[in-house]
Amino acid sequence: MSDYTPIAEIPKIVASLRTTFRSGHTKPLAFRRHQLHQLARLAQENADALATAIHLDLGRPKQESIMAEVGAIVERSLICAEKVGEWVQTEDLEGKVEVWQRGWRPRVVKEAKGVVLIIAPWNYPLILALQPLYGAIAAGCCAVIKPSEISAHFSSLLATLLPQYLDTSAYKVVLGGVEETTELLQVKFDHIFYTGNARVARLISLAASHFLTPLTLELGGKSPVLLLPPLSPSSLSLAAKRIIWGKTQNAGQICVAPDYVLVDPSLRSSFIAEIRTHLQAFFPEEGGALKSKDYGRIVSESHFGRLTAMLERTRGRVVLGGRWDVQSRGIEPTVVVDVPEGDVLLEDELFGPVLPVVEVEGVEGALRYLEDREHPLVIYAFTDGEEVKKRLESHTTSGTLVFGDTFAQVAINELPFGGVGESGYGRQVLKYSFDNFVYERGVVDVPFGDEPVLAMRYPPYTAESLEFFSAPLKVDIPRD
């Protein structure tokens, strides 16, 4: 595309940002706060334009973009501006060290890492580009933002808006596809923040290893829903409503979308009936979700083809939905039952509005099913049983565990967000985003006047000095 950043310019862009960082331009708190306020203004003053661009790319309803992205960037950028002075405070260790070390003024200083790269996905293009960015700004870093070429309208708009609000000597947008991203990865950065899938994350990790660049990887994977007794009829109805709402957001193209359901056999038929009821309420138009302005579309022809090919192979097991529209790339919310082990629906992350339902026998059956699979970004669990909840909390591993809802975790500003293993590592949201882009630097200032205290460390060594340093070898160790 003509608006892609020329590949030859990419090393120059990064070099200019490094010059800015080395000058100390981004470090004063007043600068950081101003840029964070400007980031909030960018989102607030261009909310309609941003929502429109996302709609053009994804067919996403305006309310979803405002609710999940634009509003959150305004709110969290302002919180960062308010809190950054607290986050950067030096930690004084004088009262925590040995008495003879207190005169050394030991402390931990939060230092900005430097020039960072943010590679954002297409499915949540605003918040997953700007959430790491507010963390980088708060930390005092310079940043390159590489939005996805798949969300072309949003990426072009961001490239236009960002220079109008932020300091262009410190923050740059690079547009492009695989070639431009590959060139970026040939340049040394001080941190890379990538949001996307595990396949690409492995390539980025390999490139980063050349420079030993630290990474934050926000991936996805197959986030399960557990539907387990005891569960009253009213709770089951709400569970179905909240699950299918989560699955229909952005037509399921969200890293924290419910991927599949593990359900006790006693609950399956009622669960499916409740989903049908709630879908009719969500999309009452004739033609259902495929005709609704409140339902998103599949982002690309290739992804649409992948999903519809899966549905073709599972037609006999579809109990709800299953239709699609080629012209609009719409796939209606679809429930598939009797999904066998090894089925294509249970392999990779679906990233679409298809919901496989797998029967398991109670909480123990669910635990057995999960224990041999990769750790998910989130586990959603619906049950009225407190003992069941305790069992799930103590015997599962995931980035987040949510009882009674879907997506609730992303609305909590104080909660860390991130994965485990195959679903990623590192955390974000507010201070956790800030923490990605700083390192904790230990500082010690040993007075020359403390030389008598240090005298025994020098040769020639004596029996007396050996006795002094052997003291830890003589302490009593508790017997458990």
SS (H, E, C) 419-432: CCHHHEECCECCHH
Residue 315 in this model has a pLDDT that exceeds 90: no
Model confidence pLDDT, tens digit, residues 34-83: 999 999 999 999 999 999 999 999 888 999 999 989 999 999 999 999 99
* Bridging pattern class, strands 424-425 and 215-218: antiparallel
Query: Which residues have a Cβ under 8 Å from the Cβ of 400 and sit 6 or more positions away?
Result: 256, 377, 378, 379, 409, 415, 417
What is the share, in percent, of the chain residues with pLDDT greater than 70? 100
Q: CA 92, CA 469: separation in Å to the nearest integer?
A: 27
Instruction: Please report which confidence band the pLDDT of residue 299 belongs to, taking 50, 70 and 90 as the band edges.
Output: confident
Model confidence pLDDT, tens digit, residues 15-47: 999 999 999 999 999 999 999 999 999 999 999
Query: What's the pLDDT score for residue 220?
Result: 86
Give me the DSSP letters along 106-135: -EEEEEE--EEEEE--SSSTTHHHHHHHHH
Residue 480 in this model has a pLDDT that exceeds 90: no
Shared-domain flag, residues 238 and 124: no
* Bridging pattern class, strands 224-227 and 378-382: parallel
Average pLDDT over all residues of the chain: 95
Catalytic residue among 69, 218, 274, 349: 218
CATH number at residue 71: 3.40.605.10
CATH number at residue 269: 3.40.309.10
Query: What's the pLDDT score for residue 1?
Result: 45
Determine the 3-state secondary structure of 209 from DSSP.
helix
Q: Is residue 387 part of a domain?
A: yes
Q: Is residue 477 part of a domain?
A: no
Query: What's the pLDDT score for residue 404?
Result: 97
Query: What's the pLDDT score for residue 58?
Result: 87
Catalytic residue among 255, 274, 349, 422: 255
Q: For 461, which DSSP code?
A: P
Domain that includes residue 45, residue range: 7-219+428-439
Average pLDDT rounded to a whole number, residues 261-279: 97
Shared-domain flag, residues 229 and 193: no
Residue 94 falls in the annotated catalytic set:
no
Q: Are 201 and 194 in contact (CB under 8 A)?
A: yes
Shared-domain flag, residues 114 and 244: no
Q: Is residue 459 part of a domain?
A: no
Average pLDDT rounded to a whole number, residues 313-328: 92
Query: For 200-323, where are the E strands, in sequence order?
Result: 215-218, 224-227, 260-263, 318-320
φ/ψ (deg, to 5) at 263: -130, 140
Query: What's the pLDDT score for residue 290?
Result: 95
For residues 173 and 372, which has the higher predicted lDDT (pLDDT)? 173
Q: CA 351, CA 14: separation in Å to the nearest integer?
A: 33
Structurally, the chain folds into a number of domains equal to: 2
Residue 255 falls in the annotated catalytic set:
yes
Residue 2 in this model has a pLDDT that exceeds 60: no
